[in-house]
Structures are given as C-alpha cells and as structure tokens.
Structure 1
Amino acid sequence: MTSAYLFLRKAKSKELTLVYVGLRHEEGYLRVSTGIKVLPKSWDGKKHQIKRNGISQVFIPPYLLSQMNGAEETSFLNRFLIEVCRFVDSRQSLSLDVLKSDVKDFIRNSEGDYLTDFYQDMKRVVSESKIQGIEVSKEMIQSKINQYQTRERESVTMLNYFEDFILRSEKGVRMPKGKKVDQNTIRTYRATLRVLKSFLMDKGVEDIYFGDVNLNWVADFKSSMSQKRNWRSATLGKHVARLKMVFREAYEHGIHTNQIFQTSAFNVETSVGQGIALSDEEIKKFVDVKLPLKGKLDKVRDLFVIMCHTGLRLSDAKRISPDNIIKSKEHFYIEIVQEKTDAAVVTPISGVVWGILEKWEMSSPPIISDQKFNDYIKEVAELVFGEDETILQTHLEGGKVVSKRVSKSSLISSHVGRRSFATNSFRKGIDSITIRKITGHKDSKSFESYVKISEREHADLFRKQLESINYKSK
C-alpha cells in the first residue's frame, strides 16, 4: 500500500504555486489541491513541508485562516498538510472518485461553506412548504440543523458510500475474507440499495448521513418495508443484514462514528423456517418423470437430483467436472471446494448420480443461471406433483402471522435439494456431525434449519437408537 505525498503544481515557478496532495491509487493517480500556495524556494522538497523562513511568501486560503486562532502560521500549515496526508492514507480502500470527493470535503471543511449551504437549503424548505401549504415547524428546522451538524463530522453520505461499496466489490478491491464477491451477491447489494433509495424518496429525502440514523429511523424503515411492501420477515431480514454490513464497513473505514449497527435495532424477528424437504420416494419421482432428452427441463431436473443426493449447493453442483471425481477403496466420491466458504467437502456418489454424470460426460449439466434454475425446477415439480397437491405454510408477512395453503410445486427451489439431503440423511440415523462434514455446515444452528422432520419423527429416531443398544420400549 502506497502513502500520500505532497508536491508543488509548478515546482520551477518563480511565483506562488499550489501545494497538492497526491496518491498512487490502484485506479490511477489522486491529485487534489490543498488551496495553500507557496513560492518553490520556500518549499522543502525532501521533507515535503514549508520552510521556516518562507512564511512571508505563502498564501493561506480563507477556510484555513478562520481556523488558525492566532497559531504560528508555518507550524499550523505544516500540521494541516500532515493531517491531509493521514486522511488520504486512512481512506485508500475507497474508489478513486469517492476518495477525491472525500479529500476535497476534508480540506474545505469550513464553517462558512456549511452555513451557506444551510441557508440555501432552508430557503428551499420554506419555498416547498409554501407550495404544499405546510407550515414550517420547529421540528423541521431542528431536523435540518441536526443534519448539518452531522455533515460537519461526515463527508460521505450513506448512498454515496453504498454505491462505492458496490463498485469496489465489482472491481475486486473489496474482498471479504480475501475472496472476490460474486455477481449474484453484488446483485443483492444493488437490490438493497434500490430499497434504501425508495424508502428515502418516500420520506422526501434525497440522501442521508450515517450519523442521522437513529432507533426511530431503523424502526421506521423496518415497519415501512414490512407493512407497505408486505415483506416476509426473511426478506426484510436479508435487506437489514446488508444495511448492517455497509454500516459496519463504513464505521471501520472511519466514515462515521455511529455504532447503532451494533444494537438490537438491526435485528429482525423471523419465524421458524417453512422450507420443505422431499422424501426419497418423492426424489425418485423427479428421476422417473419423462422429459425431452437434454432439454432445459432435463438439465435442471438432473442438477436438482444431484443436489438431493450429494447435499451440494447449486453454485457447487454446477461446477462438477471429471477433476472433481475421485476413487478411494473401490468407491467414487465428489471432492469440491465450496464457492461460498472456500472449504473442501467430499460426498459419496450414489448410483443415481453416477448415471447422471455419465449422461453429461462425467460433469454436471451445462450451466444455467440461478433464477432460470428456480423457474424451470418449478415447472418440473408441476409435472411431478400436479397443481392439486398443497401444503399449509405459516410465516410472518407484513408483521403478522399468516397461514395459507400453497401448491407444493411452488415451494421447490435449489435450496430444497440440499435440505432434502440433510433431512433424509438424518432420518436414516446418520449423526449430524457426519452430515455437516458432507454439507459443509460449520455450526449446528444453521444445519438444524435444514433438517425438516416433525417432533414425532424425532421421537421415533430416538426410540430406534435406544433399541439398537437393546433398550426395550413400548
């Protein structure tokens, strides 16, 4: 990582010239004027500072003059230049455009600029209120004052940072756990950004600073998304989790000091997962259903059956190649590094899966997008179950518990394959630790959400285990 440096715009000039701060950024070069002008002969090129004897030949911009408060000029200006460099160094992870804007705001962070902006903004508020027939209240004025007090502390808004967060993810600059963010995840970031923009628009606000977010704002966001959009708790939870991620990273980058993301305000109450799991008999129906050979539904059905038999995620099942097939003690296995966790897993190959792999030249069927997969597998499920087979589903929707019957085929998605593998393995009496080694679940809590069996089935499994050690039950 390079460090910020100072240089003169015209190092050989005989007249006053601007002092610039620079940085060799991975996207190019940062060059921002500090507003300070010196004669080149008054500049120490080795120490990158103003010489002590050059103070009479220095131009000090107004936004710095107001902050000097009688301080010795050379020392004050050199300290300011050091602070500018430190500020640039602390924000190197930002994209070049956002970093440049951030540095300019830091340099010109003067009271006069904010007062002018505040005056213009308040004129706009009064004008718009007259048009709408609304009286300007004390609360409206105080809210605007709070916004500008926050602005003096922050130079990057939430939307600006979120957009930069996405841009850095796309360019591979932002690499959580040392791994590039995949396109599917980036699409979810964009979805949450659109939700945030829509919410702010509904509130008549173009943007917001992190420091403006309080408990009431978070509660309002959650209530608005839950009730007005009739979101299920799971959907709301995903968007809130992404906002929390952006909030945390902006905090770590020194963009703001608001620690509200660490409170329970960013938690979302979720109902018990209502996802379904298919039995071995139901999975066989998918194997047996007649489909056009190697057509789109055939490809999706085969990939789904592979997941049901191996416990692989869709992102991993799509990547199976001959290199992933290994043989050990007369048995064949699939060994693959999970795309999501970077952890290697090994799963046995059943006869059904072997037949599918042979059909596709020892690889998974040709790649298809996740969205298309989930659309097409529902079409296959309709052929298997028909539209009359329904299931009662209960979930939180719009903040209320809702129960309704839905067609079984509508619930089939890529997650059902992995969930069915975990559930059927557990039903067979395989211990959870072994199953987790196959599926790659790191903790029991996330694994347990995949196992879909009733309390009665738990009791039967427990009884069978007891009987296996000669325990007699009635």
Structure 2
Amino acid sequence: MTIKVIVKKDSNGNPRLSRKGETTIYVRYQHNSKVADFQACKIAPKSIEFVEVRGKLEIMEPYIKQRVKGRLDAIENIDLVKRDIKAAVNRLIAKGIEPMPKIVKREFEAGFVQDSEEELRPMIKEVFRDYINAQSHAGVAKGTLKQYNSTLNHIESFHKSEGFEYAIDQADLNYYDALVSYLKVTHKGITKESTVGKNIKTLKSMLRWARSRGYEVHPDVDLKAFKVAKSTKKVYYLTEEEVSRLLDAELSDNHKLSRVRDRFVFNCYVGLRVGDLNRLNIKHIQTIEREGKKVKLIEAITEKQKKRGFIPLKPIPLSILEKYDYSLPNISDQKYNMYLKELLKKVEIDRAIEIAPGEFEPLYSLVTSHLAVKTFITLCHKWGIPTKHVASITGKTEKVINEYYYAVSDEDLIDVMLFNNQ
C-alpha cells in the first residue's frame, strides 16, 4: 500500500492544464498494483515543486513553492485528502475488508463518518483518560501519572498520524505492531527498547483495567507477542572508592557542585526515590537504642507504594543530613542531572562504559540521579544486606532489583574467581 502526490500529464509529459491554465494535484492510492486517484486541489504548474526522477517530473514535498498565493490552503487540502484516505483504509481493515482502491474510494466518498454503531464504541483515548483519572484518585505517585499521560500523548499522536480513532476492542496485534513502529521510527525516533517497552506496559495495564470494568478488550493483549520490550543494557554504578572520591573532592569554591555532591552521595547510602528524597525532613528521622547505642534512622511512608520504610543511617549520610539541618538541597531534575555530569567530570570519574558492542562512553556522560539508587543497591549486596531488605528500603520488588538494578561488582567477581577457591 502506497500513497503519493501526483499530477496527470499530457502527451508531451507536461502537467495537464485546464482552460484557466491550472493543473489538478491528485493523491494516488495504490494497493496490489491497482490505483485510485483523489483530487486534492488546482494550482498553476509553475507554483508546484517538481523534481526530475529518471527523466520524468515528479512532485516533491512540500508540494507548493514558497511565497505562492494560496500555498497553505493547497498544502492543507493535500494533507487532508491523505489523512482521509488512511482513515478509509483503516475503517475497511477494522471491518475485515481488504482495502482495494475502488473500495477505498467508495469508503472515502461516503463522507468519512463512522456509522452510528462505531460511534458508540468506546475509543482508546477516552478509556485511557478514565484510567488515568481512576489511578489519580487511587493515590498513584505523580511521576507514574506523568508516565501515563506521556503514553496517552504518544497514542493520540499515533492515531492522528493514522487518520483514524481506534476503539478499545481494536487494540490487537496489528495495532501493537503499528504503534511500536510509530514510536521507533516516526514519533521522535524513540531508540531505547526500554522506553518503547514502558509505553507498551502502560497500554497493557490500561487495557486490562478496562476489561476488569466491563469493556470489551481484544484477546490479543494476553498473547506473548503483545510483549513489553526490556532493556538488556549493562547496569553501571559507582564503586565505594568513587563515592569516597566524590566525598573528598575539594569543592569549597563551587557552592552549586558541593550541594549536588552532598545530595547525590547521601542517596548512594540510602537509595530513596526522587520524590521521597525531596520530601525528606527532620520529622522523618527517628532515634532508637540498639545494643546500648543510639541509632538514627529514616522512617517514612514511600510516595509510590504507600508503605512504611525504615533506613538505618550510616555515619556518612547522617553527617550530610546534619550539615543541612535535616533538609537536603532541593534541585530540579533537569538541572540536577546536568550538574551531576559536570561534577563527575570534574572529579575525573571517567571510566569507560560499553553501552553497545564496541561503543563506549565515559561514566560522567551517562550519570543521572538514578545512578545513586543503582549504586546503593550494588553496595548493599557488597555489604551483605539481603535482597529482601533492600527491596523493603527501596520499595522495589526483588525481581525488579535483580533484573534492572543489581550489578555484580568487579571487585567481588575478581575475589570469587581468583582468591576464594585457592
């Protein structure tokens, strides 16, 4: 199936003209070697953007030359016809009808209006908004709601590009394939499999929620092929030596990086989510007595899971908290991640990380606030803290920790392979 913009030509190969000296621009739909032409607009040939292809004149986008009267209206008409052709094709496919050009033309000329039965079918975007609203009332974290809204925006853009609004029961494997292709190729070129997977995961959660509320959902959503792509990239982290190097760095002349360093190093020892880190204050600090010693710990209800968590404070994070009177510097995510890269580069934490086969980047160029959580989880393993306790502290499941956060430290691997079995 192809759609392209053409003009019809006379016997000399020139654009065919009307009595007014205008030529008609058509949108041609082709399927299985059959074609149908749809009139889009009329305009003087000299106003059209032509390019010579194999000795023939072809129209090239944006179709109409700059500074031509009526240019925007002509382009809009062409784009409208292209969208309506796609909409007609999609309606036929949804009905199980092969979109042959003659049938598409009949559907196109019918008025581009879905029949009354289809109009009553709940649309994906409408149900999605209900889902987000329900999750908001259920107390889902702001960051999660932001992800839901982002996925909805992607889906609305996808539907717009297709020229068709999909109903909730039309989200089948064909829909999945088209959406994944759109996310990867058309819509801003999302290159990370994990980012595409995150959007598909949100879509599947919404569809299953819709089914539980009585909506008719296509059974393809339960197939393995309707999959959530997962990231296979290496989990990188800071070693204890690198954390110590950050802590010992002389930054008295750089107040900005000093504050960023303290916030980051603190979280390398406690592993809090960004939202929980931002809310942390002296009311969350408790003092208990353990084996004759007074111990301070963080006791807080996590923003995402709404669970009460306890994090014992080691001397280093406790001293950082006391430095700021138990209220850490609050920095916007964008600036924080930008300053972190500057900080690690200044402290020369620049070991090479292989991000793809044969492709390396210095660690400082990859750092984000999330690196602190990965570092915390990896260091906890080195300290001998069981994964179930790490899960309790971070609010993540053991499965998620093992798949996405835990990394075997190079030092541990060397010790096990070379020294422990001698």
TM-score by length of structure 1 reads: 0.60
Aligned position for 1:214: 172
Counterpart secondary structure, 1:302: helix
Deviating beyond 6 angstroms after TM superposition, the runs of 4 or more aligned structure 1 residues are 132-141
Give ranges in structure 2 of 5+ residues lacking alignment. 1-34, 41-77, 97-112
Aligned position for 1:199: 158
1:369–1:154 distance in 2 versus 1, CA, 3 Å: farther
Aligned position for 2:142: 183
Aligned position for 2:67: none
1:165–1:250 distance in 2 versus 1, CA, 3 Å: same
Distance 2:226 2:116 in 1: 21
Distance 1:343 1:428 in 2: 24
Supply the RMSD in Å over aligned alpha carbons: 3.5
Aligned position for 2:100: none
Distance 1:166 1:355 in 2: 41
- Contact 2:234–2:355 at 8 Å: present in 1 too? yes
Distance apart, 1:128 and its partner CA: 8.7
1:419–1:144 distance in 2 versus 1, CA, 3 Å: closer
Number of residue pairs aligned between Structure 1 and Structure 2: 325
Aligned position for 1:390: 352
Aligned position for 1:4: none
Distance apart, 1:243 and its partner CA: 1.2
Aligned position for 1:142: 92
Distance apart, 1:348 and its partner CA: 1.9
1:187–1:434 distance in 2 versus 1, CA, 3 Å: closer
1:164–1:441 distance in 2 versus 1, CA, 3 Å: closer
Q: Which has the higher helix share?
A: 1
Distance 1:197 1:414 in 2: 30
1:454–1:348 distance in 2 versus 1, CA, 3 Å: closer
Aligned position for 1:430: 385
CA deviations over 1:395-445 (Å, ceiling 9, x no partner): xxxxxxx65211211221122111111212212333333433433433245
Equivalent position to 2:340, from 372, 377, 382: 377
Aligned position for 2:327: 363
Moved more, 209-218 or 131-140: 131-140
1:299 lines up with 2:262 in the alignment:
no
Counterpart secondary structure, 2:225: helix
- Contact 2:378–2:409 at 8 Å: present in 1 too? no
1:405 lines up with 2:364 in the alignment:
no
Give the partner amino acid of 1:341: Q
Give the partner amino acid of 2:197: G
Counterpart secondary structure, 1:327: strand
Counterpart secondary structure, 2:331: coil
Aligned position for 1:280: 240
TM-score by length of structure 2 reads: 0.67
- Contact 2:233–2:355 at 8 Å: present in 1 too? no
Distance 2:177 2:115 in 1: 23
Aligned position for 1:114: none
Give the partner amino acid of 1:197: E
CA deviations over 1:145-182 (Å, ceiling 9, x no partner): 4695894495321122223434555xx4x31xxxx233
Distance 1:427 1:462 in 2: 16
Give runs of aligned pairs for residues 218-297 of structure 1, distance below 5 A: 218-228=176-186, 229-291=189-251, 295-297=255-257
Distance apart, 1:219 and its partner CA: 1.4
- Contact 2:388–2:398 at 8 Å: present in 1 too? no
CA deviations over 1:167-211 (Å, ceiling 9, x no partner): 555xx4x31xxxx23332222222212211222233232x21122
- Contact 1:324–1:335 at 8 Å: present in 2 too? yes
Identity %: 26
1:140–1:242 distance in 2 versus 1, CA, 3 Å: closer
- Contact 1:373–1:414 at 8 Å: present in 2 too? yes
- Contact 2:127–2:168 at 8 Å: present in 1 too? no
Distance 1:289 1:350 in 2: 20
Counterpart secondary structure, 2:347: helix
Distance 2:231 2:254 in 1: 39
Give the partner amino acid of 2:264: F
Give ranges in structure 1 of 5+ residues lacking alignment. 1-125, 395-401, 468-472
- Contact 1:241–1:266 at 8 Å: present in 2 too? no
Counterpart secondary structure, 2:236: coil
Distance apart, 1:458 and its partner CA: 4.4
Give the partner amino acid of 1:158: I
1:312–1:208 distance in 2 versus 1, CA, 3 Å: same
1:458–1:421 distance in 2 versus 1, CA, 3 Å: same
Aligned position for 1:335: 299
1:266–1:403 distance in 2 versus 1, CA, 3 Å: farther
Aligned position for 1:345: 309
Counterpart secondary structure, 1:239: helix
Equivalent position to 2:129, from 163, 185, 210: 163
